[in-house]
Chains A and B, each alone.
Chain A
Amino acid sequence: MTASLKNYLENSNGYHAAKWSEPVVMEMTGTGRRGVVFEDAPAPKLPGKAARKNAPVLPEVTEHDALRHYLHLSQMTLGMMGVSLFGTCTMKYNPRIGERATSEHLKKLHPLQEAETLQGVLELYDNFSDFLCEVSGMDQFIFQAGGGADAAYTHACLTRAYHASRGELQQRDQIITTIQTHPCSPATANTAGFEVITLSLEENGYPSIEQLKSVVGPRTAALMVNNPDDMGIYNPDIKEWVKIVHEAGGLCFYDHANFNGVMSRLRARELGFDACMFMLHKTFGAPKGGGGPAVGAYGCAEHLVPFLPAPVVKKDGDSYVLDEDRPQSIGRVREFWGNAPQVMKAYAWARAMGAEGLREAADISVLANNYMDWRLGKTKGVSRSNPGIDAPRMEMTRHSVDQVTQDTGCTVFEISNRMTDFGIDALWLSHEPWLVPEPFTPEAGELWSKEDIDYWIDVLEHVIAEAYEDADLVKTAPHNGPIKALTSALDEPSVWATTWRAYERKHPSKIAAE
């Protein structure tokens, strides 16, 4: 838990991030400095033209210097270490036991081993598929997709294969989504060659049934939506939506990334959906990592199973096999069977939670959101999106500081920057385009304690009070971070450089001065 804001304000040192005067590693070079030198390292044998003429210009530093350098940089990297109520992302603690389990059980396996020697991990895949089928009502899960967007893409490809198998692909060239569905649905539908029709929000905070009906027809290939949507609003008409799309011959995909508030409270299949995806690196407690080692678990009902990417783990008598012989499969969406360590960590998390744990976590997520909503409702200058509606809000709510911006000129970016001075991670605002001005979207999930949430809101209130008293203090934040607010240099291609070579080219005078 976080100590109270009072504690922070009374302690004159408050919070301060580590700040090092750290050069670029290329500037640290001292000729001849080395880490480990292998005297008898063999020179690689390269075909004539492949071998370079001059040795590469690499930084020459000792092992100790290198370690210290990168440690300093990591200490100066903001984020994901304060209180992080980062909406639409369901920030969860990643139990250390998951690291231990993967290092003990997976490190020495390779997916190209014979299946007989991989029975343990295959059993885990099969069990986890069963677990998620139970949670969603689907018939088979696969874990190949390397993230949520990849799972959405998997669905767009399955949609193509499904309609092609029925000779209707020429006719069905449109996928319908909503403006508060995560942008990966329209993007992947476009990538798979479909036209995308996006529905806009109406008074209730979601599109009306009439609006949906105005676009559904013989060209409809699929509906791709999340629910609750990107601002936490649950569309209560969803069963009717699915029915309308099915009657027109389209498939329905449920982006279940925002599953946290409804875990064990509803099943995608029972709402009528043909397929859904869960984010293991989000809802299921596995780490998120720079879009890399993630897993979008994709599940579908029987009629779509033949089209799933291969291989699918199957039980054959007493043993598990990798079924590669799937003539209608869309093929791979990723190498091997996806990110196995993530699957193992999520499986461990899910088994530890069990059915009751999932339900309790869902309820706590909604409770935490209601609590935040109640407190933010009393916060000066903060308003809630779609204030008049009674549609249920689940695990998060979109709010706005528009009033504060109107009164003080301080934008939500500046307020967010200032909050980092208190050890709070930058806020999640909103996907684009912004329908709500100066938006922010907090989500506490089941992880963050009441003290953490109170601290977070106390800081927000404190910063808003500062904005009214001394707007400059907020506008020039962060003050306690390793760096100040970014300058517009990022917009100037002639200034910024992402490689040393570009830096040398763009800043010859700085290089010469050294």
Chain B
Amino acid sequence: MARLGLIINPVAGLGGAMGRKGSDEPDIAVRASVEGRLSQSPERAARALDTFRVGCSVEVLAGPVLPPRGEVTPVGPATLLGTAADTEACVREMQGKVDLILFAGGDGTARDICAANSGGIPILGIPSGVKMHSGVFARSPERAGRLAADFLTDPLRRTEMVEVLDLDEEERRAGRLSARLYTVARTPLNRRGDRQNPKAGSSDTVGEMDGAIAAYLRAMKTETLYLLGPGATMKVLKDRLGGGSLLGVDLAEGGRITGIDLDEHTLIERVAGRKVRIVVTVVGGQGFVLGRGNQQISPAVLRAAGMPRIDVICGADKLAGLNPQELTIDTGDPALDSRLSGYWPVITGPGRSLVMRVVA
């Protein structure tokens, strides 16, 4: 019998209302209670659970706090610390017991869950945080609840890998906006856009991406140095070239990987004097092609490489789920961003591309 895990981060979203860029600071809960603020996450989790219950009647294990309504089985520590440790304890307890972890929180919560999710249980976010760059969030609590019900009642339980990003706190305190790619997580397929007709046989995104990558490999030129960005889609390309990193920027030439997880300085050295091409995918759920999760491909790297061509590979359904329908760049150099803005063809399948407007 399937079970659902429900994680409610009681401090998620508090930072936003308090003018913070997130709720990760250790004392945020204390300060919020002093200011008399309540997190929206329990209520949002309850809304998701309401919709979930319409389509699915399985047992729900919930913690570290409980939703204000709905029947659940409590899990987690008896006394809460008010930190990430609470979330992680719940996730550990859910291992082997649930088939999907639905959580109310933001990017930070997604990260905490992934850190403790040793069994790789699929996760799905109820948007309740301040920062939500990760690809694991549904568009609304109701959609999250419905998707969770659909997933648990679908005998095939189709999933896909998406990126989990979070703002780098140290960078942020230094005044720089910088989202780091922390990991990739398994999430129910088709969670982003709007659920498509399950009975009409939707187009096969996995097959399309597979074909796109195979076609890209065939067209790669021996003399060119390829700079390959992070992410699950790119990992498939890197694996065909002998294996590379999931979260890092790698180099490939002559049909194989020749540098793994390189930093900005190394990249600048390696691209000098070479004919370069950059390949990236859309990272996370917000439509970023440059500047989130792949900051290593910095303005300095782009200039050192002679402003090379940038190829983007991304599934059509992921693009269709973007609202507004555009991609974003934020390299930290506004002049460069506006120079790169315009229309970019994104490879969506073998012999197929979709032109997207790219804005700074």
Distance of A216 from chain B, by nearest CB (Å): 11
The residues in A between 476 and 500 inclusive whose CB is less than 8 angstroms from any CB of B are 486, 488, 490-492
Distance of A270 from chain B, by nearest CB (Å): 28
Tell whether, in the assembled complex, residue A195 and residue B154 are in contact, meaning their CB atoms are under 8 Å apart: no
Q: Is A475 an interface residue (CB 8 A)?
A: yes
Chain B residues, Cβ within 8 Å of A406: 140, 142
Q: Is B18 an interface residue (CB 8 A)?
A: no
* A194/B325 contact (C-beta < 8 A), A215-B343, A472-B54 known: no
Tell whether, in the assembled complex, residue A214 and residue B342 are in contact, meaning their CB atoms are under 8 Å apart: yes
Chain B residues, Cβ within 8 Å of A211: 343, 355, 357
Tell whether, in the assembled complex, residue A215 and residue B345 are in contact, meaning their CB atoms are under 8 Å apart: yes
Q: Is B356 an interface residue (CB 8 A)?
A: yes
Q: Is B79 an interface residue (CB 8 A)?
A: no
Distance of B287 from chain A, by nearest CB (Å): 12
Q: Which of B146, B155, B197, B354 contacts A491 (CB 8 A)?
A: B155
Chain B residues, Cβ within 8 Å of A210: 343
Chain B residues, Cβ within 8 Å of A472: 54
Tell whether, in the assembled complex, residue B352 and residue A413 are in contact, meaning their CB atoms are under 8 Å apart: no
Q: Is A184 an interface residue (CB 8 A)?
A: no
Interface residue total, chain A, C-beta cutoff 8 A: 38
Tell whether, in the assembled complex, residue A197 and residue B345 are in contact, meaning their CB atoms are under 8 Å apart: yes
Task: Among A194, A405, A432, find the residue whose CB has the most chain B CB atoms closer than 10 A.
Answer: A432
Q: Is A202 an interface residue (CB 8 A)?
A: yes
Chain B residues, Cβ within 8 Å of A421: none
* A200/B355 contact (C-beta < 8 A), A215-B345, A411-B195 known: yes
1/0 contact trace for A385-412 toward B, CB 8 Å?
0000000000000000010011001010
Chain B residues, Cβ within 8 Å of A475: 54-55
Distance of B43 from chain A, by nearest CB (Å): 16
How far, in whole Å, are A488 and B154 apart by their CA atoms in the complex? 7
Distance of A153 from chain B, by nearest CB (Å): 15
Give the nearest-CB partner of A489 in chain B.
B155
Q: Which of B196, B345, B357 contacts A433 (CB 8 A)?
A: B196
How far, in whole Å, are A438 and B154 apart by their CA atoms in the complex? 20
Q: List 9 A-B contacts (CB under 8 A).
A: A200-B355, A201-B325, A207-B355, A211-B343, A211-B357, A409-B145, A413-B197, A432-B202, A486-B199
Closest 10 CB pairs of A and B: A433-B320, A437-B194, A214-B343, A198-B354, A195-B351, A409-B51, A492-B155, A196-B352, A211-B343, A199-B355
Q: List 18 extra interface pairs beyond A211-B357, A214-B342, A437-B193, CB under 8 A.
A: A196-B351, A196-B353, A197-B354, A198-B353, A199-B355, A200-B325, A200-B357, A202-B325, A214-B343, A215-B345, A402-B194, A409-B146, A413-B197, A432-B196, A432-B202, A432-B203, A434-B194, A490-B199
Question: Footprint of B on A, CB under 8 Å?
Answer: 179, 186, 190, 194-202, 207, 210-211, 214-215, 402, 405-406, 409, 411, 413, 429, 432-435, 437-438, 471-472, 475, 486, 488, 490-492
